[in-house]
Amino acid sequence: MSDERYQQRQQKVKDRVDARVAQAQEERGII
């Protein structure tokens, strides 16, 4: 696998994780 494709996949995973973290923080009222 090329580095570029690997990076794109990691970026997608990171975006999804960040979104879940943000949602969890909102639910708890933590910012």
| Average pLDDT along the chain | 91
Q: What pLDDT sits at residue 5?
A: 96
The C-alpha atoms of residue 18 and residue 4 are separated, in whole angstroms, by 21
Q: Strand locations in the chain, DSSP E? A: none
C-alpha angle with apex 23: 22 to 29, nearest 5 degrees?
85
Instruction: Evaluate if pTM is beyond 0.85.
Output: no
The CA–CA distances, whole Å, from 23 to 12, 13, 29 equal 17, 15, 10
3-state SS, residue 10: helix
The C-alpha atoms of residue 24 and residue 20 are separated, in whole angstroms, by 6
